[in-house]
């Protein structure tokens, strides 16, 4: 189930629409006015259409809901199934190619970039799409697949493929997605929305750096071992000392004396 904040009590339909529009100002510095958002932001259009189609779906007007969602897809290039449950203040930035499946659940203050897919991994009629907590940010091109749960304040790097649960306050990157950073309960932004999705560790770069350091260390040791041996580095061994002490007396050497 979604982990909604206590202060997020249910809103009326138009109040919910108003939040969907005004949340853009906090997450896109390119937005200058409400009129500009209403006329030009296809991601906002997709969310507003979904609010209507979802109500129709819940009222068992399923065909009408599907037709409206299909029209919204044609208008916005965003496909949101009317059965998907979406929390307050969802922002889909740039919008192109976003797909949200029927049983997906999205918390409050979630941000999705273009090319994001919240998809299923089974054809069974059951919970088969992801659940996203509050304040989740999903980078462009990322795929979150299956009936998995991403906790609150999770960040998903661009083009990642996430197929396992992710705890609260973690950053996930890669294919398959792996946790590379955990902030615990700390939220950097006082408004609870962390847009610094570019400030993530680079595990591949770090591994390569460690390998290069190790190679330099091994090459230095190899160079030390391959230096030519000079007389000053030689030490007379015990066997040579014994031979030297007997070299004047071959008879004693032969006799073992």
The answer to whether residues 133 and 152 touch, using CB atoms and an 8 Å cutoff, is yes
Cis check: omega of the bond before 87, within 30 degrees of 0 = no
pTM metric for this prediction:
0.67
Residue 242 CB neighbours (<10 A): 11
Which percentage of the chain shows pLDDT scores above 70?
75
Mean pLDDT is lowest, of 185-194, 196-205, 211-220, for 185-194
The residue written with tokens 């916005």 in the block is 76
Between vectors from CA 83 to CA 77 and to CA 86, what angle results, nearest 5°? 75
pLDDT category at 178 given cuts 50, 70, 90 is: confident
pLDDT category at 7 given cuts 50, 70, 90 is: very low
pLDDT at 248 over 90: no
pLDDT category at 210 given cuts 50, 70, 90 is: confident
pLDDT at 230 over 80: no
pLDDT by residue (tens digit) across 8-24?
Answer: 556 677 888 888 898 88
Residue 4: its pLDDT value, please?
Answer: 45
Tokens at residue 169, please?
A: 């306050």
pLDDT at 99 over 60: yes
**Mean pLDDT estimate for the chain:** 81
pLDDT at 255 over 80: no
The answer to whether residues 11 and 88 touch, using CB atoms and an 8 Å cutoff, is yes
Domains in the chain, ordered, with CATH? 13-200 (2.160.10.10), 207-255 (no CATH)
Q: Average pLDDT, stretch 138-150?
A: 92
Between 10 and 5, the more confident residue is 10
Residue 29: its pLDDT value, please?
Answer: 86
d(CA 115, CA 157): 12
Between vectors from CA 131 to CA 11 and to CA 127, what angle results, nearest 5°? 110
Residue 225: its pLDDT value, please?
Answer: 83
The residue written with tokens 């306050």 in the block is 169
Q: Average pLDDT, stretch 165-182?
A: 86
Residue 20 CB neighbours (<10 A): 22
Calculate the alpha carbon distances from 132 to 137, 158, 223 in Å.
Answer: 9, 16, 55
Q: Average pLDDT, stretch 101-117?
A: 92
Between 231 and 33, the more confident residue is 33
Residue 126: its pLDDT value, please?
Answer: 87
Between vectors from CA 206 to CA 202 and to CA 209, what angle results, nearest 5°? 145
Residue 200: its pLDDT value, please?
Answer: 59
Between 130 and 234, the more confident residue is 130
């Amino acid at each position: 189930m979604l982990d909604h904040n206590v202060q997020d009590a249910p809103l009326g339909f138009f109040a919910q629409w108003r939040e969907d529009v005004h949340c853009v100002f906090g997450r896109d510095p390119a937005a200058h006015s409400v009129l500009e958002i209403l006329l030009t932001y296809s991601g906002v259009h997709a969310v507003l259409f979904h609010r209507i189609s979802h109500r129709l779906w819940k009222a068992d007007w399923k065909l009408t809901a599907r037709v409206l969602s299909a029209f919204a897809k044609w208008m916005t290039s965003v496909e949101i199934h009317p059965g998907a449950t979406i929390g307050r203040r969802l922002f889909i930035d740039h919008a192109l190619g976003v797909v949200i499946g029927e049983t997906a659940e999205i918390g409050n203050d979630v941000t999705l970039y273009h090319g994001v897919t919240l998809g299923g991994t089974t054809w069974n009629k059951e919970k088969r799409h992801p659940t996203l907590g509050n304040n989740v940010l999903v980078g462009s091109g990322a795929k979150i697949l299956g009936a998995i749960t991403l906790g609150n304040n999770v960040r998903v790097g661009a083009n990642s493929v996430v197929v396992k649960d992710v705890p609260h306050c973690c950053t996930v990157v890669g294919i398959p997605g792996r946790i590379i950073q955990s902030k615990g309960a700390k939220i950097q932004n006082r408004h609870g929305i962390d847009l610094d999705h570019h400030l993530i560790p680079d595990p591949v770069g770090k591994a390569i750096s460690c390998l290069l350091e190790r190679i330099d260390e091994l090459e230095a040791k190899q160079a030390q071992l391959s230096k030519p041996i000079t007389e000053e580095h030689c030490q007379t061994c015990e066997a040579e000392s014994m031979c030297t002490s007997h070299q004047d007396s071959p008879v004693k050497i032969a006799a073992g004396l």
